[in-house]
Chain A
Amino acid sequence: EIVMTQSPATLSVSPGERATLSCRASQSVSSNLAWYQQKSGQAPRLLIYGASTRATGIPAKFSGSGSGTEFTLTISSLQSEDSAVYYCQQYNYWPTFGGGTKVEIK
């Protein structure tokens, strides 16, 4: 099993600032990495796939980077609607998810 570890667990950011979320894989997943946003009571929404490609309809404020075992999701100019839990997920083998990072707006 490939274990995905996300940090920090919680991130509190002021409106307009940038948030940087990290995801680490226990072994290389190449670029087979996705990021999801989950708001309270909703299903997850795909933001990024292939480590850095935005999914259809996702604004440019969301960007992903990394390969191998280290990945980053950056959310620029945070607004209240960006409050959510963000998950990374590898699909290099059978899919596994990270534990999530909760992004709060101060």
Chain B
Amino acid sequence: QVQLQESGPGLVKPSQTLSLTCTVSPGSLSSDSYYWSWIRQPAGKGLEWIGRIYTSGSSLYNPSLKSRVTMSVDTSKSQFSLKVTSVTAADTAVYYCATTVLTEAFDYWGQGTLVTVSS
């Protein structure tokens, strides 16, 4: 059983950088077999995969967001992080962290955190 919990500011001003952290169950980040993803969902809309990172640091981003997204991992803190630069109102969404452990699909999810971009 892997537990994930998102944290970070709930309000970000336009043009600034959105920063979120996902804290996972201790020891879960020790395996490079899993990859750790961020997924977002605007209110009333569908799901959008943002990108993923392996414990080794290797990453893959959604091409539509690639120029603004950076992910990192800190195994000592059992955390991985997301940064999205130059945010606009279109980045307002619930942000989820998720992972693939038992399957190649997203079998574990955090509860999600709402980020609003507004001045």
Contact = CB atoms under 8 A, between A and B. Distances in A.
A96 interface: yes
B107 interface: yes
Contacts, number: 58
A71 interface: no
Contacts of B105: 34, 46, 49, 55, 89, 91
Main secondary structure of the interface of B (DSSP, over half): loop
B106 A87 contact: no
Contacts of B37: 95
Contacts of A50: 103-104
Q: Top 4 nearest A-B pairs by Cβ distance?
A: A34-B105, A43-B109, A49-B105, A49-B103
Nearest to A89: B105
B106 A46 contact: yes
Interface of B: 37, 46-49, 60, 62-64, 96, 98, 102-107, 109-112
A43 B103 contact: no
Interface residues of A, number: 24
Contacts of A94: 49, 60, 62-63
Nearest to B106: A46
Nearest to B109: A43
Contacts of A55: 102-103, 105, 107
A43 B46 CA distance: 12
Interface string A85-106: 0010101001111111000000
Contacts of A91: 104-105
Contact of A44 (B47, B102, B103): B47
